[in-house]
Structure 1
């Protein structure tokens, strides 16, 4: 029998946006309920995204420590080995703790009811669970929030549907890794997982459609990380025009091998064939907006399937809001959380809060790390017809030289009239941490002189940002380490 329970706020989805929403709702003494659809409670980040991938990146880095050692005075008696099955067991334990402490316990603290199963909007702000443990239950709220996230997306390449392949989710279920793997894609997921797999002993080839990896970021970043990957032994092939994917084991051709996948592509006008034991598709994500009842309650979607929202996260149904990956880029855990928080503020407090997406940093947790915030050189050129930009190589930064970790660069883009910093792009050690100073600069309109006039600790990698600002004022090649 169907039963209906009423709340102030009902949420379809159980990830970062949902939990930020119940946190803000609790502050306002609102009753809340979550229908956790899809992944286990916590969503992508804790289950199959940030937490497991960053854990495995650190594990793989430790495994590669001997081969990456830059110091002649340090020697290793034997190469370290990685037990991948044990690595995944440790990852599962970590994810389980995060899920309990950061999500289940939090929901209990805020007295949020959690319903498990696939839910659909059926009447304005009513959600019915149509499949799963709580099937048949209906919950209704004064306001509904759709926060169903996203899932891995596969491009329309001929034959791909007929070939088994890994994604960033399914690879976490594979205890026995292949000896070789082809990765289709050149974004942050492909790069992070490509480096993880390479460092635990898999022969990795990355095939990217664009002329460089990280095609959505400043051009120098992609070129720099490509070079670092190639030096490490990861084969990176860009400029692919994919023609076909096939399974060599079943096509009956003379090129057939016992298992795996073959990718037929054209690079610089030449036909090429890549074959490996397995295929990994890392070409982005798609919003989880289908089969959740949007049409039934008048919620419109965009051409790419993302839910259409205004700047206050309100959908075309005024009683329904949406947040997180399901409304589109940037698909980041912290952005989803901010959107969920703001949706509640706007729905119940009429606060009219928005997000300045230009001041949201993006990070790729490879080694070296990649980080960026704000406007790129090309974007600035397109808008203003000129660009005031400076780039400092990490090999010129004292800390990088001292620790023999000199891969990378820092580029600063400033306004050509006001000297305000409008973009910062970096590759190098600690870039993920260094980007926050740059983010504050972009967010609050700091000038290059504000950064120059701020004393930075010596020697640190963060001096690279200051040095890039100093490059607008002086020839940094003749500058002493401690010149302010």
Structure 2
């Protein structure tokens, strides 16, 4: 097969249709356009998809606001006093900053809309065609967008897009319970929280995974009384045990009620709030309830199986390591594939898919090098093998943990909760994985990501200079602690 060049692509007018404008979709569109393809993106809500409009960008903006409240609560420890503080004001709550949730949510939604507009503008600038509407497959080489076309008399009609290759970036929607139907007012999914105008007096969060933990921590910091209902032994059951235990302790110390081994059976509205009934018969009363019980892929009713796209029992699109589906010329990326529900993974899947479809050099995605972060306070960042994975596969490893409280920079900033943990091979000393629990752990994990990606040894990490004082100094120090002396 002759190599594909920009000139041949231009002559062939390779037609790419992307269904879904989230990170997997718009990143794929940009790669395809750079490789000379004719690209159309179909998105039913707005560019950026749920990640930008209702999920990642809004939630992390809200959490960033909550972080300021957490920092403000530490002010007294640093010797900072508010001007209104006096000996006569004994109640710490009386000196707290007041949260205007309507203003907070207005800013959250405005920022999300601006980010969506920026993405659309960039796509248009690059020559990508953007179509607003709901796309469905009509076979493996055609996408139909309902009502997006126009007849000669001006009436709306379906727009038919012929394609040489299709990328499905369909995303997912919040999972709900038959016995807890969201109403957007008192019983809420995480996409509905931004319509609230007042801070929930008592928020019951059902689900202690990443989404539940993030929102529980955020609303606790903003000033709500939060009850976290967890069906498992601890919060974040799928994460590093030491990190999860630390975070649960922080939650409890900040006044949050954490109900472990408590499965929610139903949630109903009362006259002025909600009532959540647990499997053991206990009842929890609150003003609002947030359902954070996972998500379901948006793959039904759009002709996937009819076009030859195989779905897994969970409804996800089945893909290989270069994002191909079982239908020739059809690829998929993002949450609809069930690979890893991360925007960074969706974007990489989209880029890899288009590079493969258009004959460019491509390497399969290596999930072992994916860095992930939980935006709680403190944050939990991970990369590489987890300790649970290393034990499950009987791998040889050594590990060392260094508490954040020993770091001089952390002391200066009043940070007490957190640690750095590394896993390494006992003989080869190659870094196998790591965990960082700290404020802005998402920024601190990058050196460990580089080490895992490039198979660096602990000595490679330890010998690199770090700034003194700095939080990254703890990463080098942990690496030094894992040094294996020869002989």
TM-score for both structures, normalised by structure 2: 0.88
| Runs of 5+ consecutive residues of structure 2 not aligned to the other structure | 1-12, 85-94, 150-155
1:44, 1:75 → 2: CA distance?
41
Quote how far apart the aligned CAs of 1:392 are. 0.9
**Does residue 1:322 correspond to 2:336, yes or no?**
no
1:437, 1:94 → 2: CA distance?
29
**Does residue 1:10 correspond to 2:26, yes or no?**
no
1:23, 1:258 → 2: CA distance?
49
- Given candidates 141, 145, 159, the residue that maps to 2:163 is 141
Q: What root-mean-square deviation, in Å, do the aligned CA atoms of Structure 1 and Structure 2 show?
A: 2.1
Partner of 2:304: 294
Partner of 1:29: 36
1:410 match: secondary structure: strand
- Given candidates 214, 219, 234, the residue that maps to 1:192 is 214
**Does residue 1:225 correspond to 2:247, yes or no?**
yes
Partner of 1:79: 96
Once the two structures are superposed, residues 37-65 of structure 1 have per-residue CA deviations (whole angstroms, 9 ceiling, x without a partner) of 3x322112211122222222222222344
Deviates more, 1:43-52 or 1:80-89: 43-52
Runs of 4+ off more than 3 Å: 63-66, 131-135, 161-164
Cα–Cα, structure 1 residues 135 and 410, in superposed 2: closer, same or farther, change >3 Å?
A: farther
Counterparts of residues 103-118 of structure 1 (less than 5 Å): 103-118=119-134
1:86, 1:197 → 2: CA distance?
15
Counterparts of residues 391-402 of structure 1 (less than 5 Å): 391-402=401-412
Partner of 1:375: 385
| Runs of 5+ consecutive residues of structure 1 not aligned to the other structure | 1-5, 250-256, 475-484
Partner of 2:278: 264
> Given that residues 181 and 187 in structure 2 are in contact (C-alpha distance below 8 angstroms), is that contact kept between their aligned partners in structure 1?
no
> Given that residues 148 and 159 in structure 2 are in contact (C-alpha distance below 8 angstroms), is that contact kept between their aligned partners in structure 1?
no
- Given candidates 332, 340, 352, the residue that maps to 1:342 is 352
Quote how far apart the aligned CAs of 1:352 are. 4.4
Partner of 1:254: none
1:363, 1:383 → 2: CA distance?
24
Quote how far apart the aligned CAs of 1:162 are. 8.0
Partner of 1:40: 46
Partner of 2:9: none
- Given candidates 211, 236, 250, the residue that maps to 2:233 is 211
Partner of 2:89: none
Quote how far apart the aligned CAs of 1:312 are. 1.2
Cα–Cα, structure 1 residues 173 and 248, in superposed 2: closer, same or farther, change >3 Å?
A: closer
> Given that residues 209 and 236 in structure 2 are in contact (C-alpha distance below 8 angstroms), is that contact kept between their aligned partners in structure 1?
yes
Quote how far apart the aligned CAs of 1:410 are. 1.3
1:384 match: secondary structure: coil
1:433, 1:286 → 2: CA distance?
30
Counterparts of residues 114-193 of structure 1 (less than 5 Å): 114-130=130-146, 135-154=157-176, 156=177, 159-161=179-181, 165-193=187-215
1:204 match: secondary structure: strand
2:395, 2:214 → 1: CA distance?
35
1:346, 1:261 → 2: CA distance?
51
1:409, 1:194 → 2: CA distance?
22
Deviates more, 1:27-36 or 1:76-85: 76-85
**Does residue 1:452 correspond to 2:462, yes or no?**
yes
TM-score for both structures, normalised by structure 1: 0.89
1:32, 1:72 → 2: CA distance?
54
Partner of 2:291: 281
> Given that residues 143 and 162 in structure 2 are in contact (C-alpha distance below 8 angstroms), is that contact kept between their aligned partners in structure 1?
yes
Quote how far apart the aligned CAs of 1:132 are. 6.5
Quote how far apart the aligned CAs of 1:92 are. 2.1
2:309 match: secondary structure: coil
1:49, 1:161 → 2: CA distance?
19
